[in-house]
């Protein structure tokens, strides 16, 4: 079933839309969550929450790319669960990745909706301007939560090259934000 058909079913509040979306995007959703949450029970619960969140969001939302919309919901829910599960534990790989970016990115709590939308657009432009390999490293590490070792093995590239690329990309991001006057 095509995305526009699934969205139409969601707008019509047809329950079979959930079956169609689970069939088409269930694996993507589970993979996105599994990269962040190690416990299978948390993964299953989070994936169920994704479908509920999707059901409640459409309508009124009408996403242009349903797969990306679902992956974003899944990632956000998984991060929320991760933060809840590790409130007192500060030593995981995701915590390290987020702390690397903490001194570069503005805090979501300190900005309004318009500023967040503008920053999202800025990030999309920034990432589209990166060389393909650097963009892949950045997205796989910071968005999907893959370890440097996993990325290295998956792409057949040395860990040192990936670490250097991530460092240089963070520095480029900082410079681009300073140039645009985006809050540091």
pLDDT in tens, 89-124: 544 566 667 667 766 666 555 556 677 777 778 888
Q: Counting beta carbons within 10 angstroms of the beta carbon of residue 61, is it exposed (0 to 12), middle (13 to 18) or buried (19 or more)?
A: exposed
pLDDT at 105: 66
Contact 49, 80 (CB under 8 A): no
What does DSSP assign to residue 112? Answer: -
CA torsion sign for 57, 59, 64, 66 is positive
* Mean of per-residue pLDDT scores for the chain: 85
Express each pLDDT in 119-167 by its tens digit: 778 888 898 999 889 999 998 888 877 888 989 998 999 999 999 999 9
pLDDT at 143: 81
Question: Could you give all domains of the chain from N- to C-terminal order, each with its CATH number?
Answer: 3-85 (1.10.1740.10), 93-180 (1.10.10.10)
């Amino acid at each position: 079933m095509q995305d526009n058909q699934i969205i139409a079913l969601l707008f019509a509040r047809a329950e079979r839309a959930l079956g169609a979306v689970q069939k088409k995007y269930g694996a993507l959703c589970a993979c996105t969550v599994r990269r962040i949450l190690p416990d299978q029970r948390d993964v299953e619960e989070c994936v169920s929450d994704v479908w509920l969140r999707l059901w409640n969001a459409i309508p009124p939302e009408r996403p242009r790319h349903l797969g990306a919309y679902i992956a974003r919901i899944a990632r956000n829910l998984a991060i929320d669960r991760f933060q809840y599960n590790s409130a007192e534990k500060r030593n995981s790989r995701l915590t390290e990745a987020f702390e690397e970016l903490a001194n570069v990115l503005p805090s979501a709590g300190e900005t309004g909706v318009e500023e967040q939308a503008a920053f999202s657009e800025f990030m999309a432009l920034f990432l589209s301007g990166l060389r393909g390999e650097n963009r892949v490293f950045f997205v796989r590490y910071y968005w999907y939560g893959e370890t440097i070792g996993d990325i290295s093995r998956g792409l057949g590239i040395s860990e040192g090259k990936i670490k250097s690329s991530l460092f240089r990309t963070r520095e480029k991001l900082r410079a681009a934000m300073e140039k645009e006057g985006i809050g540091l």
